[in-house]
Amino acid sequence: MRYLLDTRVVLWQLSGTRPLGRAATAAIGGAAELAFSVVSFAEIGLKAAIGKLVVPDDIDAHVTAAGLRVLGLGVEHGLAVARLPLHHRDPFDRLLIAQAQRDGYTLVSADERVRAYDVAVLDPLV
């Protein structure tokens, strides 16, 4: 399986603030690929800039050291966002959903709202 970790899941893992559930740990441990999107770097940067989050300046090095593949975005991802139903308006979530759909990843997210979309989701807390 190929997993795309959402922003919160990676932050939990890097900080050790919230452990993953047993099923999620087993699934992720056996993954063929674990990925993190540039979308999440943008979300982290924005939240840090407005004071909602404190992260190390070298967060990218931490992500790479954790063995995560960093995924870029292309035109096809932007166009895929426009085709998503408007179940909610979080632009970061919508980009991650489109990227997971388009590139064949299971999205690892605790956000209940992502389940409204046609995308494979793994709950990290199970």
DSSP for 8-68 reads HHHHHHHHTSSPPPHHHHHHHHT-SEEEEEHHHHHHHHHHHHTTS----TTHHHHHHHTTP
| Residue type, position 79, single letter | L
Count structural domains, the chain: 1
In a domain, 115, yes or no: no
Distance CA 50, CA 53 (A): 8
Domain that holds residue 17: 2-109
In a domain, 122, yes or no: no
In a domain, 119, yes or no: no
In a domain, 126, yes or no: no
CA neighbor of 116 nearest in space, from 15, 6, 22, 93: 93
In a domain, 75, yes or no: yes
Distance CA 79, CA 32 (A): 27
Taking the model in full, what pTM does it have?
0.95
For residue 80, give the CATH number of its domain.
3.40.50.1010
When pLDDT is cut at 50, 70 and 90, the band that residue 117 belongs to is very high
**Tell me: the pLDDT tens digits for 43-98?**
999 999 999 999 999 999 999 999 999 999 999 999 999 999 999 999 999 999 99
Place of tokens 């999620």: 24
